[in-house]
A and B are shown apart, each in its own frame.
Chain A
Amino acid sequence: AQKVTQAQTEISVVEKEDVTLDCVYETRDTTYYLFWYKQPPSGELVFLIRRNSFDEQNEISGRYSWNFQKSTSSFNFTITASQVVDSAVYFCALSEGETGANNLFFGTGTRLTVIP
């Protein structure tokens, strides 16, 4: 079974629009970690955020915000006032267990295109 589902394969928005990337996960562990990574056209994988299963507080970092809801097993990512530089593939990932970074299960990614 897919542990991480990113149902949106591709999204296009016009610059300055807000956009939310969805992530739904599945695990039986009570301790787990969720991540978001960005892969710009240059190809590298850039770490954005790590959140453990006991911390449901939403997080905001500049134009980025994350909404973690255990009740719906979701960890959605919102970009406010999108910019062309936000164009990339975004991956949500899950790591099970207490160590927090072993064996990430990645979603299939959402390709975001921001149109100027």
Chain B
Amino acid sequence: DTAVSQTPKYLVTQMGNDKSIKCEQNLGHDTMYWYKQDSKKFLKIMFSYNNKELIINETVPNRFSPKSPDKAHLNLHINSLELGDSAVYFCASSQPGTVNSPLHFGNGTRLTVT
């Protein structure tokens, strides 16, 4: 029943490891996003995909690679994790152009790099 679901909810890992966060939406939306929320609660977009195509790629280290196998999924893979990657990562989806279509966020993945 969940509209935007992301897994895992918590992820604790060591520096240098590679990890993935998965996101799925069942709203039929065409556009999906990854946002990062840092320790000061600041939310910033990382990537945006529309129908599996990358449309926004903010200044993010290339250790971060999004992958969209279909328009309902947008996964985030992170290579060579660093301490500064510790944050909460939110997946979201929307249907741009539709009246009253806000971003629907997942519940977030808290990544802790030790």
B104 & A109 in contact (Cβ 8 Å cutoff):
no
> Which residue of chain A is the closest to B42 with respect to CB atoms?
A108
Give A residues with C-beta under 8 Å from B. Answer: 35, 37, 39, 43-45, 47, 50, 89, 91, 98-104, 106, 108-109, 111
Q: A106-B42, A108-B41 are in contact. Are A101 and B101 (CB under 8 A)?
A: yes
Distance, CA A90 to CA B41, complexed state (A): 10
Interface residues of B, Cβ cutoff 8 Å to A? 31, 33, 40-45, 48, 55-56, 88, 90, 92, 94-108, 110
Which of B56, B94, B99 is most buried by chain A, counting CB atoms within 10 A of its CB? B94
Contact call B107/A44, Cβ cutoff below 8 A = yes
Interface contact tally, CB-CB below 8 A: 62
Residues of A within 8 A of B95 (CB): 101
Q: Which of B43, B45, B88, B99 has the most chain A CB atoms closer than 10 A to its own CB?
A: B43
24 CB < 8 A contacts A-B: A37-B105, A43-B108, A44-B105, A44-B106, A45-B90, A45-B92, A45-B105, A45-B108, A47-B102, A47-B104, A89-B41, A98-B97, A99-B97, A100-B96, A100-B97, A101-B31, A102-B31, A102-B48, A102-B55, A103-B48, A104-B103, A106-B44, A109-B41, A109-B42
A108 contacts B40, C-beta separation under 8 Å = yes
Assess the A101–B96 pair: CB atoms within 8 A: yes
- Please, which residues of chain B bring their CB within 8 A of the CB of A103? 33, 45, 48, 56
Give bound CA distance, A50 to B101, whole Å.
8
Q: A36 CA to B41 CA in the complex, in Å?
A: 15
Closest CB in chain B relative to A99 CB, distance in Å: 4
Task: Give the nearest-CB partner of B31 in chain A.
Answer: A102
Considering the complex, give the chain B residue whose CB is closest to the CB of A50. B102
Knowing A43-B107, A43-B108, the reply to whether A102 touches B43 (Cβ < 8 A) is: no
